[in-house]
Amino acid sequence: MLEAAQNCQPLNQDDNKKTLKKYKKEDIKPWFTKYASTSRTLYRGCWLYDFLHMFIVSVCQDRETMMSKLAQAAYTKALAPYHPWVLKKAAGVAMKAVKRRDKFVASVVKDQKTLPGKDGYDEEKLYADFLTLGE
C-alpha cells in the first residue's frame, strides 16, 4: 500500500536510474535511487513458489519423464513469462543440469533417513510427502 502511494513498486535497486528517467522530476524522492521494492520482491517469490509447486507435482504425477523435462515445463509456465530472452536461455541450460530422477530420489531418501524417526523412509514416502507439499 505504501509503495503504491509513493509510486515506487518498479524500483529494484539494480536499474533505478534507468527506471527513474520515466518519472517526472517532481515525483522523484531522494531515497528512490537506492530503493528495492518489497512488493516486487514478494511477486518474484510467488513466481518461484509457483515454479516449485508445478515441478514437485509433476515429478510425483509423471514418474516416467526425465526431471529436466519436467523442470523445463514448470519453468516455461511459471517463470519464463517474466524473464528476458537471455535469462530464458540461461535457465534452459540450467534445467538440463537437473539430476536424474534415480539419483535425486536416492539422495533425498538417504538424507531423510538420517532424521530421527525416519528409519523406514523410502521412495513412496518421498512422493507422498511431495504431494502433500503440492496441495
Determine the pLDDT at residue 43: 79
- What is each CA distance from 113 to 71, 96, 116, 132, in whole angstroms? 26, 28, 8, 19
Q: What is the pLDDT of residue 44?
A: 81
pLDDT at residue 27, as a whole number: 63
**pLDDT in the model for residue 42:** 81
Name the CATH code of domain 39-133 (choices 2.10.109.10, 1.10.3520.10, 3.40.430.10, 3.40.1190.20): 1.10.3520.10
pLDDT-flagged residues of the chain (< 50): 1, 13
Cβ(32)–Cβ(20) below 8 Å: yes
Task: Indicate the burial class of 59 (C-beta count within 10 angstroms; 0-12, 13-18, 19 or more).
Answer: buried
- What is the model's pLDDT at position 133? 78
Determine the pLDDT at residue 1. 44
Domain boundaries, the chain: 2-36, 39-133
